[in-house]
Chain A
Protein backbone atom coordinates (compact mmCIF):
# COMPACT_ATOMS: atom_id res chain seq x y z
CA UNK A 1 0.00 0.00 0.00
CA UNK A 2 2.85 2.30 0.82
CA UNK A 3 4.19 1.62 -2.69
CA UNK A 4 0.95 2.87 -4.26
CA UNK A 5 1.12 5.97 -2.09
CA UNK A 6 4.72 6.50 -3.23
CA UNK A 7 3.66 6.16 -6.86
CA UNK A 8 0.86 8.68 -6.42
CA UNK A 9 3.15 11.12 -4.64
CA UNK A 10 5.68 10.73 -7.47
CA UNK A 11 3.05 11.49 -10.08
CA UNK A 12 1.86 14.51 -8.13
CA UNK A 13 5.44 15.71 -7.65
CA UNK A 14 6.10 15.34 -11.37
CA UNK A 15 2.96 17.32 -12.17
CA UNK A 16 3.77 20.04 -9.66
CA UNK A 17 7.50 20.45 -10.28
CA UNK A 18 7.28 20.01 -14.05
CA UNK A 19 10.95 19.11 -14.40
CA UNK A 20 12.68 19.04 -17.75
CA UNK A 21 14.83 16.07 -18.67
CA UNK A 22 18.54 16.81 -19.07
CA UNK A 23 19.69 16.28 -22.63
CA UNK A 24 22.10 13.46 -21.72
CA UNK A 25 19.33 11.47 -20.04
CA UNK A 26 16.72 11.93 -22.72
CA UNK A 27 17.41 8.69 -24.62
CA UNK A 28 17.48 6.65 -21.42
CA UNK A 29 14.49 7.91 -19.50
CA UNK A 30 11.74 6.26 -21.58
CA UNK A 31 13.57 2.92 -21.57
CA UNK A 32 14.25 3.24 -17.84
CA UNK A 33 10.58 3.93 -17.23
CA UNK A 34 9.55 0.83 -19.17
CA UNK A 35 12.12 -1.26 -17.28
CA UNK A 36 10.86 0.06 -13.94
CA UNK A 37 7.29 -0.68 -15.00
CA UNK A 38 8.40 -4.24 -15.70
CA UNK A 39 9.84 -4.48 -12.21
CA UNK A 40 6.65 -3.02 -10.77
CA UNK A 41 4.45 -5.54 -12.56
CA UNK A 42 6.76 -8.32 -11.43
CA UNK A 43 6.40 -7.08 -7.87
CA UNK A 44 2.62 -6.96 -8.06
CA UNK A 45 2.57 -10.46 -9.43
CA UNK A 46 4.94 -11.71 -6.70
CA UNK A 47 2.77 -10.08 -4.08
CA UNK A 48 -0.35 -11.77 -5.43
CA UNK A 49 1.53 -15.05 -5.41
CA UNK A 50 2.54 -14.20 -1.85
CA UNK A 51 6.19 -14.36 -2.82
CA UNK A 52 6.90 -10.65 -2.61
CA UNK A 53 10.26 -9.66 -1.23
CA UNK A 54 11.07 -6.00 -1.00
CA UNK A 55 14.80 -6.63 -1.36
CA UNK A 56 14.21 -8.49 -4.59
CA UNK A 57 11.96 -5.71 -5.74
CA UNK A 58 14.53 -3.03 -4.99
CA UNK A 59 17.37 -4.88 -6.66
CA UNK A 60 15.28 -5.92 -9.67
CA UNK A 61 13.99 -2.37 -10.03
CA UNK A 62 17.46 -0.83 -9.97
CA UNK A 63 19.04 -3.57 -12.01
CA UNK A 64 16.33 -3.48 -14.67
CA UNK A 65 16.71 0.25 -15.03
CA UNK A 66 20.49 0.13 -15.17
CA UNK A 67 20.65 -2.73 -17.64
CA UNK A 68 18.05 -1.15 -19.91
CA UNK A 69 19.89 2.17 -19.85
CA UNK A 70 23.19 0.39 -20.46
CA UNK A 71 21.81 -1.47 -23.46
CA UNK A 72 20.55 1.78 -24.92
CA UNK A 73 23.88 3.44 -24.23
CA UNK A 74 25.71 0.55 -25.87
CA UNK A 75 23.36 0.74 -28.84
CA UNK A 76 24.06 4.43 -29.21
CA UNK A 77 27.80 3.77 -29.18
CA UNK A 78 27.42 1.02 -31.77
CA UNK A 79 25.16 3.12 -33.97
CA UNK A 80 22.15 0.84 -33.50
CA UNK A 81 20.59 2.83 -30.66
CA UNK A 82 17.14 3.07 -32.21
CA UNK A 83 16.98 -0.64 -32.98
CA UNK A 84 18.25 -1.73 -29.57
CA UNK A 85 15.81 0.61 -27.86
CA UNK A 86 13.05 -1.05 -29.83
CA UNK A 87 14.39 -4.46 -28.85
CA UNK A 88 14.45 -3.54 -25.15
CA UNK A 89 10.94 -2.13 -25.31
CA UNK A 90 9.69 -5.26 -27.07
CA UNK A 91 11.29 -7.64 -24.54
CA UNK A 92 10.12 -5.62 -21.55
CA UNK A 93 6.71 -5.29 -23.14
CA UNK A 94 6.42 -9.05 -23.48
CA UNK A 95 7.44 -9.47 -19.84
CA UNK A 96 4.94 -6.87 -18.73
CA UNK A 97 2.23 -8.67 -20.67
CA UNK A 98 3.07 -12.06 -19.17
CA UNK A 99 3.18 -10.56 -15.67
CA UNK A 100 -0.10 -8.79 -16.34
CA UNK A 101 -1.57 -12.12 -17.45
CA UNK A 102 -0.47 -13.74 -14.15
CA UNK A 103 -1.93 -10.83 -12.21
CA UNK A 104 -5.18 -11.18 -14.12
CA UNK A 105 -5.36 -14.87 -13.30
CA UNK A 106 -4.87 -14.14 -9.65
CA UNK A 107 -7.28 -11.23 -9.48
CA UNK A 108 -10.02 -12.54 -11.73
CA UNK A 109 -9.33 -16.23 -11.18
CA UNK A 110 -9.46 -16.66 -14.92
Chain B
Protein backbone atom coordinates (compact mmCIF):
# COMPACT_ATOMS: atom_id res chain seq x y z
CA UNK B 1 0.00 0.00 0.00
CA UNK B 2 1.03 3.53 -0.50
CA UNK B 3 2.42 5.68 2.19
CA UNK B 4 2.75 9.39 2.51
CA UNK B 5 6.46 9.16 2.13
CA UNK B 6 8.34 12.34 1.61
CA UNK B 7 8.67 13.48 -1.94
CA UNK B 8 10.86 16.38 -3.05
CA UNK B 9 10.54 19.48 -0.86
CA UNK B 10 6.90 20.37 -0.25
CA UNK B 11 7.51 24.08 -0.73
CA UNK B 12 8.14 23.60 -4.43
CA UNK B 13 4.76 22.16 -4.94
CA UNK B 14 2.87 24.78 -2.99
CA UNK B 15 2.40 26.83 -6.13
CA UNK B 16 0.09 24.52 -7.98
CA UNK B 17 -1.61 24.14 -4.62
CA UNK B 18 -5.17 25.37 -4.92
CA UNK B 19 -6.38 22.62 -7.21
CA UNK B 20 -4.83 19.79 -5.28
CA UNK B 21 -5.87 21.44 -2.03
CA UNK B 22 -9.40 21.29 -3.32
CA UNK B 23 -8.84 17.70 -4.33
CA UNK B 24 -7.70 16.87 -0.80
CA UNK B 25 -10.72 18.65 0.61
CA UNK B 26 -12.94 16.80 -1.81
CA UNK B 27 -11.53 13.45 -0.74
CA UNK B 28 -11.95 14.37 2.90
CA UNK B 29 -15.48 15.40 2.15
CA UNK B 30 -16.04 12.06 0.51
CA UNK B 31 -14.56 10.30 3.53
CA UNK B 32 -16.76 12.15 5.98
CA UNK B 33 -19.76 11.46 3.84
CA UNK B 34 -18.89 7.77 3.62
CA UNK B 35 -18.29 7.48 7.36
CA UNK B 36 -21.62 9.03 8.23
CA UNK B 37 -23.42 6.94 5.62
CA UNK B 38 -21.84 3.75 6.86
CA UNK B 39 -22.54 4.57 10.49
CA UNK B 40 -26.15 5.31 9.72
CA UNK B 41 -26.38 2.16 7.63
CA UNK B 42 -25.01 0.06 10.45
CA UNK B 43 -27.30 1.63 13.02
CA UNK B 44 -30.33 1.66 10.79
CA UNK B 45 -30.44 -1.97 9.86
CA UNK B 46 -28.17 -4.48 11.45
CA UNK B 47 -28.82 -7.03 8.73
CA UNK B 48 -28.28 -4.67 5.80
CA UNK B 49 -24.58 -4.33 6.53
CA UNK B 50 -23.99 -8.06 6.82
CA UNK B 51 -22.33 -10.22 4.23
CA UNK B 52 -24.11 -12.95 2.37
CA UNK B 53 -22.22 -15.73 4.18
CA UNK B 54 -23.09 -14.25 7.53
CA UNK B 55 -26.71 -13.86 6.51
CA UNK B 56 -26.87 -17.48 5.41
CA UNK B 57 -25.30 -18.62 8.67
CA UNK B 58 -27.61 -16.38 10.67
CA UNK B 59 -30.61 -17.72 8.83
CA UNK B 60 -29.53 -21.30 9.46
CA UNK B 61 -29.14 -20.52 13.13
CA UNK B 62 -32.53 -18.85 13.29
CA UNK B 63 -34.15 -21.74 11.44
CA UNK B 64 -32.59 -24.19 13.85
CA UNK B 65 -33.65 -22.13 16.84
CA UNK B 66 -37.12 -21.89 15.38
CA UNK B 67 -37.33 -25.65 15.00
CA UNK B 68 -36.22 -26.12 18.58
CA UNK B 69 -38.85 -23.68 19.77
CA UNK B 70 -41.58 -25.28 17.68
CA UNK B 71 -40.63 -28.65 19.11
CA UNK B 72 -40.68 -27.20 22.60
CA UNK B 73 -44.07 -25.63 21.95
CA UNK B 74 -45.41 -28.99 20.77
CA UNK B 75 -44.13 -30.69 23.89
CA UNK B 76 -45.65 -28.04 26.11
CA UNK B 77 -48.95 -28.32 24.26
CA UNK B 78 -48.93 -32.06 24.81
CA UNK B 79 -48.18 -31.57 28.49
CA UNK B 80 -50.99 -29.08 28.71
CA UNK B 81 -53.55 -31.34 27.09
CA UNK B 82 -52.36 -34.20 29.30
CA UNK B 83 -52.83 -32.03 32.36
CA UNK B 84 -56.23 -30.85 31.15
CA UNK B 85 -57.45 -34.36 30.50
CA UNK B 86 -56.01 -35.29 33.89
CA UNK B 87 -58.16 -32.59 35.46
CA UNK B 88 -61.10 -33.90 33.44
CA UNK B 89 -60.38 -37.39 34.65
CA UNK B 90 -60.28 -36.21 38.23
CA UNK B 91 -63.56 -34.34 37.84
CA UNK B 92 -65.29 -37.22 36.13
CA UNK B 93 -63.97 -39.51 38.83
CA UNK B 94 -65.65 -37.27 41.39
CA UNK B 95 -68.87 -37.32 39.41
CA UNK B 96 -68.60 -41.06 39.11
CA UNK B 97 -68.07 -41.39 42.85
CA UNK B 98 -71.19 -39.32 43.50
CA UNK B 99 -73.24 -41.49 41.17
CA UNK B 100 -71.93 -44.62 42.83
CA UNK B 101 -72.65 -43.26 46.28
CA UNK B 102 -76.25 -42.52 45.31
CA UNK B 103 -76.71 -45.87 43.65
CA UNK B 104 -75.15 -47.72 46.56
CA UNK B 105 -77.23 -45.70 49.02
CA UNK B 106 -74.29 -44.62 51.15
CA UNK B 107 -75.29 -40.96 51.25
CA UNK B 108 -78.59 -39.28 52.14
CA UNK B 109 -80.15 -37.65 49.10
CA UNK B 110 -82.97 -35.30 48.32
CA UNK B 111 -84.78 -34.08 45.26
CA UNK B 112 -88.14 -33.99 43.53
CA UNK B 113 -90.06 -37.21 43.54
CA UNK B 114 -93.03 -39.18 44.76
CA UNK B 115 -94.22 -40.48 48.10
CA UNK B 116 -96.42 -43.57 47.96
CA UNK B 117 -98.26 -44.55 51.11
CA UNK B 118 -99.54 -48.08 51.27
CA UNK B 119 -101.82 -49.48 54.00
CA UNK B 120 -103.54 -52.80 54.69
CA UNK B 121 -100.83 -54.93 53.17
CA UNK B 122 -101.89 -58.14 54.80
CA UNK B 123 -102.32 -59.93 51.48
CA UNK B 124 -99.50 -58.23 49.60
CA UNK B 125 -96.80 -60.69 48.62
CA UNK B 126 -93.09 -60.15 48.37
CA UNK B 127 -93.53 -60.67 44.64
CA UNK B 128 -95.81 -57.62 44.53
CA UNK B 129 -93.23 -55.54 46.33
CA UNK B 130 -90.60 -56.61 43.81
CA UNK B 131 -93.05 -55.75 41.04
CA UNK B 132 -93.52 -52.31 42.56
CA UNK B 133 -89.77 -51.76 42.84
CA UNK B 134 -89.20 -52.86 39.27
CA UNK B 135 -91.80 -50.39 38.08
CA UNK B 136 -90.07 -47.64 40.01
CA UNK B 137 -86.72 -48.54 38.53
CA UNK B 138 -88.14 -48.69 35.03
CA UNK B 139 -89.60 -45.23 35.55
CA UNK B 140 -86.16 -43.91 36.40
CA UNK B 141 -86.26 -43.72 40.18
CA UNK B 142 -82.81 -42.71 41.35
CA UNK B 143 -83.13 -43.33 45.06
CA UNK B 144 -85.76 -45.31 46.89
CA UNK B 145 -86.51 -45.68 50.57
CA UNK B 146 -89.11 -48.03 51.92
CA UNK B 147 -90.12 -46.90 55.39
CA UNK B 148 -86.66 -46.84 56.98
CA UNK B 149 -84.93 -49.15 54.54
CA UNK B 150 -82.83 -47.72 51.72
CA UNK B 151 -83.57 -49.87 48.70
CA UNK B 152 -80.47 -50.69 46.68
CA UNK B 153 -79.38 -53.22 44.09
CA UNK B 154 -78.98 -55.99 46.63
CA UNK B 155 -82.31 -55.36 48.41
CA UNK B 156 -84.70 -58.25 48.81
CA UNK B 157 -88.23 -58.79 50.01
CA UNK B 158 -89.55 -61.77 51.89
CA UNK B 159 -92.63 -62.79 53.75
CA UNK B 160 -92.58 -63.89 57.37
CA UNK B 161 -95.26 -64.70 59.88
CA UNK B 162 -95.04 -61.12 61.09
CA UNK B 163 -95.51 -59.67 57.65
CA UNK B 164 -93.33 -58.28 54.90
CA UNK B 165 -89.63 -57.96 55.41
CA UNK B 166 -87.28 -55.84 53.35
CA UNK B 167 -83.59 -56.56 53.76
CA UNK B 168 -84.35 -58.33 57.03
CA UNK B 169 -86.30 -55.43 58.50
CA UNK B 170 -90.04 -55.66 59.06
CA UNK B 171 -91.88 -53.00 57.23
CA UNK B 172 -95.30 -53.55 58.78
CA UNK B 173 -98.81 -53.36 57.44
CA UNK B 174 -98.47 -49.71 56.60
CA UNK B 175 -95.42 -48.49 54.81
CA UNK B 176 -94.22 -45.56 52.81
CA UNK B 177 -92.14 -45.46 49.64
CA UNK B 178 -90.08 -42.36 49.27
CA UNK B 179 -88.86 -42.12 45.71
CA UNK B 180 -86.60 -39.54 44.10
CA UNK B 181 -86.86 -39.20 40.36
CA UNK B 182 -89.04 -37.74 37.62
CA UNK B 183 -92.31 -37.43 39.58
CA UNK B 184 -94.65 -37.32 36.56
CA UNK B 185 -93.02 -40.30 34.94
CA UNK B 186 -93.05 -42.35 38.10
CA UNK B 187 -96.65 -41.52 38.96
CA UNK B 188 -97.79 -42.47 35.48
CA UNK B 189 -95.71 -45.65 35.52
CA UNK B 190 -97.21 -46.73 38.80
CA UNK B 191 -100.69 -45.92 37.65
CA UNK B 192 -100.83 -47.96 34.45
CA UNK B 193 -103.58 -50.61 34.24
CA UNK B 194 -102.44 -53.89 35.75
CA UNK B 195 -99.40 -52.04 37.01
CA UNK B 196 -97.95 -51.93 40.46
CA UNK B 197 -100.70 -49.95 42.13
CA UNK B 198 -103.43 -51.95 40.42
CA UNK B 199 -101.85 -55.10 41.77
CA UNK B 200 -101.60 -53.71 45.30
CA UNK B 201 -105.19 -52.52 45.34
CA UNK B 202 -106.32 -55.84 43.98
CA UNK B 203 -104.71 -57.39 47.12
CA UNK B 204 -106.88 -55.14 49.26
CA UNK B 205 -104.27 -52.52 50.03
CA UNK B 206 -104.98 -48.83 49.95
CA UNK B 207 -102.47 -46.76 48.01
CA UNK B 208 -101.95 -43.04 47.94
CA UNK B 209 -99.51 -41.43 45.53
CA UNK B 210 -98.26 -37.89 46.18
CA UNK B 211 -95.92 -35.96 43.96
CA UNK B 212 -93.62 -33.71 45.90
CA UNK B 213 -91.09 -31.09 44.84
CA UNK B 214 -88.75 -32.22 47.57
CA UNK B 215 -88.42 -35.74 48.85
CA UNK B 216 -85.75 -36.56 51.37
CA UNK B 217 -84.23 -40.00 51.50
CA UNK B 218 -82.29 -40.12 54.72
CA UNK B 219 -81.77 -43.82 55.26
CA UNK B 220 -78.28 -44.88 54.27
CA UNK B 221 -76.41 -48.10 53.83
CA UNK B 222 -72.90 -49.13 54.56
CA UNK B 223 -71.17 -50.92 51.77
CA UNK B 224 -69.18 -53.96 52.69
CA UNK B 225 -65.92 -54.71 51.03
CA UNK B 226 -66.48 -57.33 48.35
CA UNK B 227 -64.97 -60.59 49.48
CA UNK B 228 -64.44 -62.29 46.16
CA UNK B 229 -64.77 -59.78 43.38
CA UNK B 230 -61.88 -57.50 42.49
CA UNK B 231 -61.75 -55.12 39.54
CA UNK B 232 -60.04 -56.63 36.52
CA UNK B 233 -57.41 -54.49 34.89
CA UNK B 234 -58.26 -53.25 31.44
CA UNK B 235 -54.91 -53.89 29.84
Binding site for B on A (CB under 8 A): 2-15, 18-21, 26-27, 29-30, 32-33, 36-40, 42-43, 45-46, 49-64, 67, 76, 79, 81-82, 85, 95
Contact = CB atoms under 8 A, between A and B. Distances in A.
Interface residues of B, number: 38
A76 to B, nearest CB: 8
A10 B30 contact: yes
* Interface SS majority for chain B: helix
A91 B10 CA distance: 29
Contacts of B31: 7, 10, 33, 36-37, 40, 61
A19 B1 CA distance: 30
B6 interface: yes
A6 B48 contact: no
B15 to A, nearest CB: 12
B35 A11 contact: yes
B20 A14 contact: no
A49 B42 CA distance: 35
Contacts of A8: 32
Contact of B37 (A5, A12, A21, A49): A21
Given A6-B28, A14-B35, A51-B5, 5 more contacts: A13-B32, A43-B24, A52-B4, A62-B27, A79-B53
